Amino acid sequence: MDEKFDNGSDAMRVTQNEAKRFYSRRDALILGGIAATVVGLSPLDALAAEAAADSKPFEVLFVLYPKFTLQDFAGANEVFARLSNVKVRIVSPEGGSIISDTNVVLGETGKLSDVRSCDLLCVPGGTDRSSMMRSEVQEVLRRLAADAKYVTSICNGSLILGAAGLLKGKRSACHWAQRSLLKQYGAIVDTARVVKDGRYMSGGGVTAGIDFALSVAAELRGPVEAQVIQLLMEYAPEPPFQSGSVETAPPEVVAAFKKRFGSLATTAGL
């Protein structure tokens, strides 16, 4: 039971919990002002997480499927799962365990059709998207996207959203080798690593999922909290090679890619 503090006036009587809440908000305002001064941000941005704490959790829904690409999902999940007042749900078309395209088993997932709503719908990429192209699955994606605050994808997950008719007239990213396939769904190809078009956000291939998630995090909880997560992850890329894009990869690397991944190279027009 709450204890009472009484200074002799009923108007000044508050419970212990109410007092704690008051001082918590006061301290947050002070810290937010300091953060705004130091980082050069507005107090509203610096206090985004504090404001969110008074609301219901923001629900992120990852839709995975057999042969999904683990890093597409894992990088973004690492960011979202550590944000304040965010609830992450992981589902798949059939529910239960699923296996990534590198043979990593993900434990129990919920069933996609059981989900009533979400705040952010995210579809990562994979090497076999056939299970997501079924009409009943695409219908659920359209239903969830209708009310979601954000409709998002990572890598070639954008092709799944496109097939569901959700990207017509929208700019979207995709894995570099499959960008051209977006056009068949009426999407506008954007070569940026992270693309935002209204409530639609997308990341490019695989590792771009981290950049995408940090960009979303900044929108949801402000740039300070997004950078706190980046710092926690020690996300400061220094790749040993500069072959992360077809534009920077040496000719011999592109030739080896064409030999090993012939169908992708053909799709990419190499």
List residues with catalytic annotation.
155
Angle separating helix axes 208-233 and 16-39, nearest 10 degrees: 110
Name beta bridge partners: 187: none
Neighbours of 253 (CB within 10 A): 14
Q: Are 39 and 66 in contact (CB under 8 A)?
A: no
Which residues, including other chains, have CB under 8 Å from residue 128's CB and lie 6 or more apart? Answer: 65, 66, 67, 101
Q: Are 112 and 91 in contact (CB under 8 A)?
A: yes
Which residue blocks in the chain are alpha helix, DSSP H?
Answer: 16-39, 43-46, 48-52, 70-80, 135-147, 157-163, 208-233, 251-260, 262-268
What is the DSSP code (8-state) at residue 41?
-
CA angle 208, 125, 70 (to 5 degrees): 80
Quote the distance between the C-alpha of residue 22 and its chain's center: 33
Bridge-based pairing state of the strands 58-63 and 86-92:
parallel
CA distances from 108 to 78, 91, 161, 165 (A): 18, 9, 24, 29
- What SS3 state is found at 208? helix
